[in-house]
């Protein structure tokens, strides 16, 4: 299967790979897995006092499309408010990366991961 | 006669509808049916019968390869019980499980730098197989007690371990090739 140039670019030069300290109150961590293929994605956001995502990191064990989806997403969420980040749809990611239909689930994984990270951050603020 | 085959794949091979399977009986029954419906035997038959024999042969192959593989067999059982799957949309968000997955992934990556990489990988694969077997046992129990959603959750975890095993296996082969 042919990957788009954008997928190859993110796959070969992934942005924002790494981890933040999960226990830090400023950090929200989202983890999701795709049972169809066994891919696992961890996405973390660092949120400042104004509620803006100032940094994001990811670690993805999966195919090129899953890595590209999470890499692209970390670029997109930086500088966004939590509400804005929640609006990102998997279809936006799939369109940007020109994912073929069989790889759309990789973008679903990224959307679920950012939502989970935001929820984790928000539940920490209440706790 | 060709049309009278049971629709249920377990019934097709004369096996009880359950997760535990007699692999020898499955293979034997598959071979018998394969021979009985082999397209060569229908060389003189009508076009319609020839086509049916072809269709049955491909159905038998699909049924056999599904039932012999534990995860696919489990999925077939759940689908027959009305549980649906959405491969594009189903995700796993069990954090504890996913953390373990990442730990396994890291352990497999680090194995290559271990003093005895082959042994370390083999040891990891042994552990992964144990995990997979215990998921299979949980699935069998959940399916028997008709707690189908639990059974589905268990089944969805199996693919992750298979993936880890595939990863470990290919690293093992690469290391062996390099020796």
Q: Does B79 map to a domain?
A: no
Residue B43: what pLDDT?
86
Q: Does B161 map to a domain?
A: yes
- Based on the fold, state whether residues B55 and B100 are members of the same structural domain: no
Q: Is residue A106 annotated as a catalytic residue, yes or no? A: yes
| CATH number of domain containing B160 | 1.20.1280.20
pLDDT tens digits for range B78-110:
999 999 999 888 889 899 999 999 999 999 999
**Nearest by CB: A38 against B88, B94, B163:** B163
Q: Does B40 map to a domain?
A: yes
Q: Does B86 map to a domain?
A: no
Task: Please identify which residue in the block is written with the tokens 């268990």.
Answer: B154
**Nearest by CB: A108 against B88, B94, B101:** B88
Q: Does B23 map to a domain?
A: yes
Q: Does B105 map to a domain?
A: yes
- In terms of residue numbers, what domain contains B169? 95-177
**Which of B19, B50, B68 is a domain's end point?**
B68
- How close is the nearest chain B Cα to the Cα of A21, in Å? 14
Q: Does B45 map to a domain?
A: yes
User: Which helix H or strand E contains A92, and what residues bound it?
Assistant: helix A90-97
- Based on the fold, state whether residues B116 and B172 are members of the same structural domain: yes
- Based on the fold, state whether residues B101 and B64 are members of the same structural domain: no
- Based on the fold, state whether residues B100 and B164 are members of the same structural domain: yes
Out of A8, A34, A37, A40, pick the active-site residue.
A37
- Based on the fold, state whether residues B159 and B99 are members of the same structural domain: yes
Spatial separation of the C-alpha atoms in residues A55 and A117, rounded to whole Å: 12
Spatial separation of the C-alpha atoms in residues A13 and A26, rounded to whole Å: 27
Residue B88: what pLDDT?
82
Q: What is the pTM of this model?
A: 0.85
CB contact under 8 Å between B91 and A33, yes or no, is yes
- Based on the fold, state whether residues B7 and B50 are members of the same structural domain: yes
- Based on the fold, state whether residues B50 and B10 are members of the same structural domain: yes
**Which of B68, B86, B112 is a domain's end point?**
B68
CB contact under 8 Å between A34 and B91, yes or no, is yes
- Based on the fold, state whether residues B104 and B45 are members of the same structural domain: no
Q: How confident is the model at residue A3 (pLDDT cuts 50, 70, 90)?
A: confident
- Based on the fold, state whether residues B99 and B164 are members of the same structural domain: yes
**Which of A20-29, A59-68, A105-114, B87-96 is least confident?**
B87-96
Out of A94, A106, A109, A118, pick the active-site residue.
A106
**Nearest by CB: A40 against B90, B101, B162:** B101
User: Which helix H or strand E contains B155, and what residues bound it?
Assistant: helix B148-178
pLDDT tens digits for range B111-139:
989 999 999 999 999 999 999 999 999 99
Q: Is A41 helix (H, G, I), strand (E, B) or coil?
A: strand
- Based on the fold, state whether residues B36 and B101 are members of the same structural domain: no
ipTM of the predicted assembly exceeds 0.85: no
Q: Is residue A37 annotated as a catalytic residue, yes or no? A: yes
Best probe of the A interface among B93, B99, B151, by most A CBs < 10 A, is: B93
- Based on the fold, state whether residues B57 and B99 are members of the same structural domain: no
* Cα–Cα distance list, B132 to A119, B20, B66, B83, B168 (Å): 31, 14, 17, 22, 14
Q: Does B159 map to a domain?
A: yes
How many structural domains comprise chain B?
Answer: 2
- Based on the fold, state whether residues B162 and B112 are members of the same structural domain: yes
Which residues of B lie inside 8 Å of A (Cβ-Cβ)? 87-95, 97-99, 101-102, 105, 156-157, 159-164
Task: Please identify which residue in the block is written with the tokens 């369109």.
Answer: A95
- How close is the nearest chain A Cα to the Cα of B126, in Å? 19
**Nearest by CB: A33 against B87, B98, B162:** B98
| CATH number of domain containing B13 | 1.10.287.110
């Amino acid at each position: 299967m042919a990957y788009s140039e954008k997928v190859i670019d993110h796959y070969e030069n992934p942005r924002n790979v790494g981890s933040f300290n999960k226990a830090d109150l400023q950090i929200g961590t989202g983890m999701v897995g795709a049972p169809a293929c066994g891919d696992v994605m961890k996405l973390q956001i660092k949120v400042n006092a104004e509620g803006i995502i100032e940094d994001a990191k990811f670690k993805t064990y999966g195919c090129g499309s899953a890595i590209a989806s999470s890499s692209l997403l970390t670029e997109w969420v930086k500088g966004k408010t939590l509400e804005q980040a929640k609006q990102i749809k998997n279809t936006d990611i799939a369109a940007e990366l020109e994912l073929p239909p069989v790889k759309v689930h990789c973008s679903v994984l990224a959307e679920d991961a950012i939502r989970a990270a935001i929820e984790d951050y928000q539940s920490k603020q209440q706790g | 006669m060709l049309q009278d085959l049971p629709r249920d794949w377990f019934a097709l091979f004369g096996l009880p509808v359950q997760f535990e399977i007699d692999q020898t009986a499955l293979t034997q029954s598959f071979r018998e049916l394969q021979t009985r419906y082999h397209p060569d035997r229908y060389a003189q038959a009508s076009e319609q019968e020839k086509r049916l024999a072809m269709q049955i042969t491909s159905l038998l192959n699909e049924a056999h390869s599904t039932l012999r593989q534990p995860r696919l067999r489990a999925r077939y059982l759940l689908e027959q019980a009305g549980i649906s799957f959405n491969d594009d949309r189903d995700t796993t968000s069990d954090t504890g499980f996913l953390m373990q997955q990442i730990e396994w992934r890291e352990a497999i990556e680090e194995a290559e730098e271990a003093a005895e990489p082959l042994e370390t990988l083999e040891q990891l694969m042994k552990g992964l197989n144990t995990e997979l077997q215990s998921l299979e046992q949980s699935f069998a129990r959940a399916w028997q007690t008709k707690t189908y959603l639990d059974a589905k959750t268990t089944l969805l975890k199996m693919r992750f371990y298979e993936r880890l095993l595939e990863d470990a296996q290919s690293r093992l082969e690469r290391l062996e090739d390099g020796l």
